[in-house]
Amino acid sequence: MASEDKFESVLSTRYCKNSPLVSILSETNKATLWRQLWIWLAEAEKELGLKQVTQEAIDEMKAQKNNFDWPFIRAEERKLKHDVMAHNHAFGKICPTAAGIIHLGATSCFVQDNADLIAYRDSIDHLLKRFATVIDRLATFSLQNKEVVTVGRTHYQTASLVTVGKRGVLWAQELLMAFQSLAEFRDKMRFRGIKGATGTQDSFLTLFNGDEEKVEALDELVTAKAQFSRRFLITGQTYSRQQDSQLVFSLSLLGAAAKKVCTDIRILQAFGELLEPFEKDQIGSSAMPYKKNPMKSERCCSLARKLINAPQEALTILADQGLERTLDDSAGRRMLIPDVLLTGEALLTTLQNIFEGLTVQTENVKKIVDDEIAFLGLEKAMMMLTEEGVDRQQAHAVIRKTALEAKQLQATQKVDIRQTMADPFFDSVRDRVVGLVNNPINFTGRCVSQTENFIEKELKPTIAKYLDHAAGNVQLDV
């Protein structure tokens, strides 16, 4: 059946079809990891002196690790209603020497949970590299525009001037904090290891004739073979689903930060200040051919919504996990965690494309600044007047009256700063204010140095470990 004739996830077929995550989270990779875990378990058991595990059996498993008879596996699962045992039988069928020691001492969660953790770790490693590239692209945009003066906005109304670059690092800081959350989760991830059916390790204690040191060593060995530095010391049948919740929450922070950034971009594009990349043959509207809609930022907001809402399900999965283990978690985790990882990838890929092509509509930005600069000059006038001994409250009252009168005129004419400050009250500061107004960068405070300092002192050191300087630009298929 052609793929167009059946439902498939839009994450894997539309937004992430070229991503390595599609392979990392695939059934084939999961089954391969299960077999690798059985090999690591057998190797560790042999290294610790378990005589029934032979090198011949281990070599046989290694040779057949990638040999999958999927029709047989599917038939076995239909019959047994147990995916791990279906794969166990399939592996044993092609490894007759090893068949008796595959999965020795283990329970299903040995392969299920540990393989999931390896796939999650590998997915996070990719996401962190992508995330670092996204932040780096935004830093480049910010530095390029660190001196481009624009109107600040509070309550969505015009406010004191900022620079486009300073606004860019505000966005970068939000994304960097989400990046740090995901990186910290990666560093603290714990492996389940070998724990047995209810977490007591009793089956392994039996295999090693009650030798607790060997059981502990077995847990450490398998953890090391899987290249984890940390492991759960205690579990039930499964590792704590709180760890899954922490992963989902880290990705939800990415969603929230990205939604804030892309909502800002959408608003600023509506004001005519920014323009997200719009490709040569791209169509903005089927009905209105002249439109350039911010569809990439809109897509990011839509994807972000999925991530923002995901922690509720993760917390429910944690809360519903009864005693040493119930199966309430299984179906939900199979869908939720791959979906949030892929959604994170789709979001980051689109963000990277936006930042690589985001442009400032400089003429329109300048026009908006020119329309507002007189009012900002009045703000400066208040500071200057108080320096000369004028009562601050008196200065505020006069400037408020002057500004409101000028605002009424603004709808029909350009506000001139000299005309606005015609009142003799401003005689002592008028020329100084006019001089400042002629160069709007004077109204942006430390925007330039703040932009530079943040990027050099915080942003670059934080992402350096993960940044691939050779990473190319993103071209979106859709």
On whether both 221 and 251 belong to a single domain, the answer is: yes
pTM of the model: 0.93
On whether both 263 and 369 belong to a single domain, the answer is: no
DSSP per residue over 292-350, as a string?
---HHHHHHHHHHHHHHHHHHHHHHHHHT--TT--THHHHHHHHHHHHHHHHHHHHHHH
> Of 345, 360, 375, at which residue does a domain stop?
360
Q: Residue 194 carries which DSSP code?
A: S
The answer to whether the CB of 324 falls within 8 A of the CB of 199 is: yes
417 lies in which domain range?
364-438
CATH number at residue 309: 1.20.200.10
Exposed (0-12), middle (13-18) or buried (19+): which is 287, by Cβ within 10 Å? exposed
On whether both 270 and 372 belong to a single domain, the answer is: no
Active-site residue numbers?
155, 285
Separation in Å, CA 200 to CA 132, 195, 203, 232, 275: 41, 6, 8, 12, 59
On whether both 139 and 40 belong to a single domain, the answer is: no
Residues 6+ apart with CB under 8 A from 219: 193, 194, 195, 201, 231
**How many structural domains does the chain have?**
3
- For residue 3, being part of any structural domain is answered with no
44-52: long-range pairs with CB below 8 Å, 24+: 44/218, 44/221, 44/222, 44/225, 45/101, 45/104, 45/105, 45/207, 45/218, 47/221, 48/208, 48/214, 48/217, 48/218, 48/221, 49/214, 50/104, 50/207, 50/208, 52/100, 52/101, 52/104
Ordered per-residue pLDDT tens for the chain, 478 residues? 457 888 889 999 999 999 999 999 999 999 999 999 999 999 999 999 999 999 999 999 999 999 999 999 999 999 999 999 999 999 999 999 999 999 999 999 999 999 999 999 999 999 999 999 999 999 999 999 999 999 999 999 988 899 999 999 999 999 999 999 999 999 999 999 999 999 999 999 999 999 999 999 999 999 999 999 999 999 999 999 999 999 999 999 999 999 999 999 999 999 999 999 977 555 555 555 555 789 999 999 999 999 999 999 999 999 999 999 999 999 999 999 999 999 999 999 999 999 999 999 999 999 999 988 888 888 888 989 999 899 999 999 998 998 888 888 877 788 888 888 888 999 899 999 888 888 999 999 999 999 999 999 999 999 999 999 999 999 888 8
Backbone φ and ψ for 273, nearest 5 degrees, come out as -100, -35
- For residue 475, being part of any structural domain is answered with no
> Of 360, 388, 417, at which residue does a domain stop?
360
